[in-house]
Amino acid sequence: MKKYLYPSLIVVFCCLAAAIFIFKKPAVRTPELKERHADLSVGKEWLNTKAAIQGLLAKLRTNPDDQKSRLLLAQAYMQEARVTGDHPYYDGAAVQLLDVVLKAEPDNFEALCCKASLSLTQHHFAQGLGLAQQAQQLNPNSGFVYGLLTDANVEMGHYEEAVKMADKMNTLRPDLPAYARVSYLREIYGDVPGAIEAMSYAVKAGYIGLEQTEWTRVALGHLYEVSGDTARARNTFRMALAARPGYAYALAGLGRLAAAQKDYATAIKLHQQARAMVKDYAFSDELTDLYRLNGQPAEAQKMAKESIEMLAGAAQEADDNEQLGHYVDRELAYAYLKTNELDKALEHAKIEYDRRPDNIDVNETVAWVLYKRGDYAEAQKYMQVARRTGSKNPALLCRAGLLLTKVGKTAEGQRLIESALKTAPYLNPELEAEGKKLLAAR
């Protein structure tokens, strides 16, 4: 009997081992923090950030079911993406963490808000709107969720709904994010002085030196740019740099102002510094124009190709994974215009239009691509939608004016071009040159 007992015990043991292996809860891999580089690694903020994140990682190693720490880690990684510009890594890490939290706690309000915010960051605007609406059902008294609903409705082109959401946000909690949303909406509706006023309140409501505050201050500086007040714009960017040394977006702002004075060498240097600090396509895109203006066509072409490669990589990631990856088709449309690849520019402009046909910026993009292709009548249809909120953005007005002259409305077009060039001709050197050429030919 014993000679049959041992083989039976071995079989039972093997079955038990296999069952443990099969049904064992798989360990959740937690994304790690990456080291910062250059000036971003200097200062107390990074030391505090690193210590806080390492503490959260330690808690999760001790207790993998600690969803509160996992949520805090996701929020920390979302902020790290803003600071470093490394959205591909940190956005992916945050989504991974949030998905674990929401699987365990499907009605976790904060996790839903974070997931909505990430969707908006990656230009998945319809998805972000849906998640924010889901969160609103759980907590209709949160100012934060109305900020998300404001942003999502703006990006989808639902501007009247965005105004309602911003009003609710300011009623519940008037603070930096709330004032900033009011500013954005006022700008969209053509009230630039009102936008400046609201953004000034936003800056005053923040803590000096924090990334969110200095981002807002840079936004205020850009509003001064748009209104033609370069002196105040310059002062505002310098204040941001004093509060947060090496801040990439303030450096780029000063670079644009240097370009406005045709000091292209300084503008290039400042944009190069910004690009070395933070991974942002916008810096490469602006460098493309600056190299061209500075008589460096080879460098301009190289930078244009680099911009397209950055954007195409993000677009491919989004195509491969609808839940994660940055939609950048509008940006790609403009990038391909700079390399004169008009078919590709139109392809990507139409892809973005199919996602959000009511957004004024998207309609402006389609209109401008069609203008470049010489399809003026079709372009005018989209430009009319782009101007429906009364925005006074000088680049929009100049494009609209150029287009009007092509469809026979010469006097109206010339008035728009003159207004744009009088306000801020430096915002787009290509438009400035084309507008001045047309006006000189009268």
Q: What pLDDT shows up at residue 320?
A: 66
The answer to whether 307 and 281 have CB atoms below 8 angstroms apart is yes
Provide the 8-state DSSP code for 324.
Answer: S
Phi, psi for residue 327 in degrees, rounded to 5: -80, 120
Q: What pLDDT shows up at residue 5?
A: 42
Give 8's pLDDT tier (boundaries 50, 70, 90). very low
Q: What pLDDT shows up at residue 27?
A: 54
Q: Average pLDDT, stretch 132-146? A: 97
Work out the widest C-alpha separation in the chain, in whole angstroms: 111
Q: Average pLDDT, stretch 277-303? A: 93
Q: What ranges in 174-279 are assigned the alpha helix state H?
A: 176-188, 192-205, 211-227, 230-243, 248-260, 264-277
Q: What pLDDT shows up at residue 21?
A: 42
More confident residue, 41 or 210: 210
Give 429's pLDDT tier (boundaries 50, 70, 90). confident
Using the predicted structure, report yes or no on whether residue 39 has a pLDDT greater than 80: no
**Rg of the chain over CA atoms, in angstroms?**
25
Q: Give the closest residue to 349 by CA, choosing from 53, 341, 387.
A: 341
pTM for this predicted structure: 0.89
Q: What percent of the chain has pLDDT over 90?
A: 79
| Per-residue pLDDT reduced to its tens digit, 253-268 | 999 999 999 999 999 9
| Per-residue pLDDT reduced to its tens digit, 373-401 | 999 999 999 999 999 999 999 999 999 99
Q: What pLDDT shows up at residue 157?
A: 98
Give 23's pLDDT tier (boundaries 50, 70, 90). very low
Q: What percent of the chain has pLDDT over 70?
A: 92
| Per-residue pLDDT reduced to its tens digit, 350-363 | 999 999 999 999 99
Using the predicted structure, report yes or no on whether residue 85 has a pLDDT greater than 70: yes
